[in-house]
Amino acid sequence: MDASSKESSSWNGSQTERDDLSRVSELQFAAAVLAKDRKATAEFVARYADGIYAYVRRQLIPRMDLVDDVVQDVFLAALHNLNQFQGTSSLRSWLLGIARHKVQDCYRRLFREPDPLGAEGPDVSWLASNEPTIEESMDRADLEKKVRSILDQLPEAYSLALIWRYWEKRSAREIAEATGKTEKAIERILARARAQFKRKWNHG
């Protein structure tokens, strides 16, 4: 069913109803946004921005400067395509699907930038000859701070490659497909990224 074909008048954005999501069909809610009910649009942002923001932020660490723009793009794309929302999944899942695509677009753009060491750059694996260790005594907050700080210092493609590979558990092939690079190129980037990360880990 097309959301736009629904009557929007049955959506009432009073506080009581806002808090009781089960009483408000998401299709009717989407229809109210499509009918340009400004209060429904405000509720659309209020209800879903936190979830989308948390997702995008997690995907784009350490590039926090990109997060706001990507989240805004997600909402603009959602508004543009809201008439295609079928209600087969929750509105939140539908928005997260858009967010996933936007993050991938962002990754693709960043990977398109030239490899900082060149395609045939030197092998830097020797930089990490001392195998790093994760101190058990370090608490999670400190550990996260250290990881973020190192990721922040790496060339963009390197930090994104590491996050995608290890934090998002994507294979080199999946990253290659998503970024339009060859699997070999991704493995080369990962090798250099690991080496630089470890060097900073040991000496940072």
In the complex, minimum distance from the CB of residue 108 to other proteins, in angstroms, rounded to a whole number: 21
Counting other chains too, the contacts that 12-17 makes at CB distance below 8 Å and 24 or more residues apart are 13/37, 13/39, 13/40, 13/42, 13/43
Distance CA 71, CA 96 (A): 10
Q: How far apart are CA 193 and CA 165, in angstroms?
A: 11
Q: Does 3 bind other proteins (CB under 8 A)?
A: no
Task: Give the nearest distance from C-beta 180 to other proteins in angstroms.
Answer: 20
Kindly tell me which of 97 and 167 has the beta carbon lying closer to other proteins.
167
Least distance to other proteins from the beta carbon of 51, Å? 9
Task: Identify residues 39-78 at the interface with other proteins (CB under 8 A).
Answer: 39-46, 49-50, 52-54, 57-58, 61, 68, 71-72, 75-76
- 131 near other proteins (CB under 8 A): yes
Q: Are 108 and 59 in contact (CB under 8 A)?
A: no
Does residue 191 contact residue 161 with C-beta atoms inside 8 Å? Answer: no
| 167 contributes a contact to other proteins by CB under 8 A | yes
Nearer to other proteins among residue 15 and residue 88 (C-beta): 15
* 11 scored as a contact of other proteins (CB under 8 A): yes
Interaction of residue 106 with other proteins, rule CB under 8 A: no
Of 6 and 194, the one with the shorter C-beta distance to other proteins is 194
Please give the span between the terminal C-alpha atoms of the chain, in angstroms, as a whole number: 56
Q: Quick check: 100 binds other proteins (CB under 8 A)?
A: no
Residues that bind other proteins (CB under 8 A): 8-9, 11-15, 35-46, 49-50, 52-54, 57-58, 61, 68, 71-72, 75-76, 79-80, 128, 131-132, 134, 140, 143-144, 147-148, 162, 165-167, 169, 171-173, 191, 194, 197-198
